[in-house]
């Protein structure tokens, strides 16, 4: 069970300390252009989903009598404070893909805890859906 808790804590950190969550907490810069508005709404949906996921992950950790370890934002995120959201889209997508790779590894590692594995699979499925949205927005981004 301790193994499951450490994997769930890793999932929690991936979600809770992601670049979109950092940008939402720091107050991301948006222009009034329609593309920025659409992208901002997509990021808002992603972060709302991540907040709900974090609550579910925290509950799963506590159910296993574990301690919640949300981690901290990477220091390099502070370099993004004054960058526009449309400029950050490529970075968000790349980091999201890396997070998904880590989620895949966690799903595989949670073989002995069916409930935790199911939750991790849900996280990965939601991440795939968010990635599709982000990539579609990137394809529509003006040159």
Per-residue pLDDT of 3-45, as tens digits, reads: 999 999 999 999 999 999 998 888 766 666 666 788 888 999 9
Residue-range domain boundaries for the chain: 2-140
Q: Longest C-alpha distance within the chain, in Å?
A: 51
Per-residue pLDDT of 84-116, as tens digits, reads: 777 889 999 999 999 999 999 999 999 889 999
What is the dihedral angle through the alpha carbons of 12, 17, 19, 20, rounded to the nearest 10 degrees? 70
At which residue do the structure tokens 């949670």 appear?
A: 110
User: What's the fold here for domain 2-140?
Assistant: Ferritin (1.20.1260)
How far apart are the C-alpha atoms of 101 and 142, rounded to whole Å?
29
Whole-number Cα distances in Å, 143 to 42, 57, 71, 86: 20, 39, 36, 11
């Amino acid at each position: 069970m301790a193994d499951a808790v450490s994997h769930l804590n890793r999932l929690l950190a991936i979600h809770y300390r992601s670049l979109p969550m950092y940008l939402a907490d720091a107050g991301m810069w948006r222009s009034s252009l329609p593309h920025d508005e659409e992208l901002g709404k997509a990021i808002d949906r992603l972060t709302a989903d991540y907040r709900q996921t974090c609550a579910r992950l925290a509950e799963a950790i506590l159910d296993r009598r574990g301690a919640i370890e949300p981690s901290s934002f990477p220091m390099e995120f502070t370099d993004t404070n004054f960058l526009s959201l449309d400029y950050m889209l490529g970075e968000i997508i790349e980091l999201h893909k890396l997070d998904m790779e880590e989620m895949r590894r966690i799903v595989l590692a949670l073989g002995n805890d069916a409930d935790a594995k199911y939750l991790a699979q849900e996280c990965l499925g939601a991440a795939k859906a968010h990635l599709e949205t982000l990539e579609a927005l990137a394809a529509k981004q003006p040159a």
